[in-house]
Amino acid sequence: MVCSLSNEITVGLPKAKLYKPASSIINLNNDYEKSPLRSPRRAQATIQRAERAIGALGMNSPFLLVYYGTDGSGGWQRLDKPLRTITTLDRFAYVEPSKNGHLMRMLQPEELKLAMGFKKSFKINIPGITRRDQIKLIGNGVCPPVMQFLVHSVISNS
């Protein structure tokens, strides 16, 4: 909802996409530790969600797993789609095939920041702020490209 005390505001649709595919925000440099997908510590529901993705994509395709909870899309998503709603909880895992079976890791604050549309130079790794707090801040944030579009719409209507 966009409101104004002075004018009636008309907000149209953006002319360009305000999102990127998830593949564009994932760090593929092996900077983060991965663990085996199939592990005795892993919840059975998590394994089932991963198996649905592997069944749909094949054994050799990476994908994102909704790690906690379920959704109407089977609990996973392709990398060519934008990342779904980022919440204040750590909930997306990157899963990739390897010669030793599928490996996974949770998406990192830097990746979530990029998915929200923040620039790479935006500082989120501040001393004293935990990883959990970083994710909470990102999940409570407003996507900069969306806000920029809205502010531009309001200004151009003035």
The answer as to whether 15 is a domain residue is: no
| Parent domain of 138 | 22-156
The answer as to whether 5 is a domain residue is: no
Residue 15 clears pLDDT 80, i.e. is over it: no
The answer as to whether 12 is a domain residue is: no
Cβ distance 101 to 37 under 8 Å? Answer: yes
The answer as to whether 100 is a domain residue is: yes
Q: What percent of the chain clears pLDDT 70, i.e. is strictly above it?
A: 89
Where helices occur in 75-130 by DSSP H, the ranges are 109-116
SS3 category, 103: strand
The answer as to whether 13 is a domain residue is: no
The answer as to whether 83 is a domain residue is: yes
What is 127-148 written as a DSSP string?
A: TT--HHHHHHHHHTS--HHHHH
Residue with the bigger pLDDT between 75 and 20: it is 75
Confidence of residue 19 (pLDDT cuts 50, 70, 90): confident
The answer as to whether 16 is a domain residue is: no
The answer as to whether 69 is a domain residue is: yes
Which amino acid is present at 74? G
Residue 70 clears pLDDT 70, i.e. is over it: no
Confidence of residue 144 (pLDDT cuts 50, 70, 90): confident
In the chain, the number of structural domains is 1
Please give the pLDDT value at position 102: 97
Alpha-carbon distance of 135 to 155, in angstroms, equals 31
What does pTM read for this prediction? 0.84
Confidence of residue 20 (pLDDT cuts 50, 70, 90): confident
| Overall average pLDDT of the 88-96 stretch | 92
